Amino acid sequence: MKNLFFIFGLSLLMFSCSSDGLEDASKTEEPFTYSNGKLSTGKTSSSGLNAPTGFEFSEIPAGSEGMLLAYYLNWQDLARSTVSDDFTIAPNESWKIENFSIFIMNPDITTNSVSSIKTLVLEIYDGDPKLSNSKKVYGNMNDNVFKSISPTNIYRVTNLTTSDSMNEQAKLVYKVDANIKDLNLPSGHYWFKMTFKFDYGDDWFWFAPRLPIIGNDFDSFNAYYRLESTGNIYTIDQGFSTPQNPVQPPNVKFETHFEIAGTKTIN
């Protein structure tokens, strides 16, 4: 009888190991890069202006605000804003996130502006951060996750930008990488909340350029920026009119360009 129990137990152990092997074999791991939307609209603007060699444009209508406030001034309570947007991990996937990239621009950039980008804070939620039932799953507003900043090959322009006004109106977009550690997310719908913190004397005039309508799914746009002092939330680029551009552009919902990279497991 003992021999029968031993054989039965050994059979169960072998079956369990075999099942684990089959389960592991059904999973695959591979590197991935997720890019939210398309920031570039091409190498030629709607007015016929050609981008410099090696560069592309991100064109929006003249009179558009075109950007979300992404600065948080440590010395001024009334000038603290955060930017939020969402991403989805497919039901059969899980992500080990190793890099998170934010894209920003400075309309009045000077020689030393880039050196002021040195503090990035990032939080990730299992739902919209403005909703009370959303839970934070990563990060906080005190830990600096800034890793690096580098120029992209994209200039933000409008339909009225010309060769004569290129130097003044075209604004180079920069990519900021975050230092991400131990972030593993199962399938689901997630949101991030981020901002750049600045000390007194820094060049803090930095924004997240909104996605253009061209080349993107406008119906999916749902990003926003929030003024932390008042709680006011802004979801729409309302635009404005000027003597040079008397027709106010139509309202456009905000959406940001960001990238996530790492390793994904496919079940």
15 within a domain of the structure (yes/no): no
- Taking the C-alpha atoms of residue 194 and residue 83, their distance in angstroms, rounded to an integer, is 5
Q: DSSP 3-state assignment of 48?
A: coil
140 within a domain of the structure (yes/no): yes
Number of domains in the chain: 1
9 within a domain of the structure (yes/no): no
Domain containing 101 equals: 28-266
- 155 Cβ partners below 8 Å, 6+ apart? 51, 52, 55, 56, 57, 58, 170, 171, 172, 173
- The pLDDT value recorded for residue 9 is 47
pLDDT, tens digit (0-9, with 9 covering 90-100), for 17-67: 444 554 566 789 999 999 999 999 999 999 999 999 999 999 999 999 999
- The pair of structure tokens assigned to 75 is 């010395």
- The pLDDT value recorded for residue 25 is 61
- Taking the C-alpha atoms of residue 171 and residue 67, their distance in angstroms, rounded to an integer, is 12
19 within a domain of the structure (yes/no): no
Cα 102–chain centre separation: 5
Q: Name residue, tokens 């552009």.
A: 249
- The pLDDT value recorded for residue 6 is 42
**What are the residue ranges in the chain where pLDDT is below 50?**
1-19, 22
97 within a domain of the structure (yes/no): yes
Burial of 163 (0-12, 13-18, 19+ CB in 10 A): exposed
10 within a domain of the structure (yes/no): no
79 within a domain of the structure (yes/no): yes
14 within a domain of the structure (yes/no): no
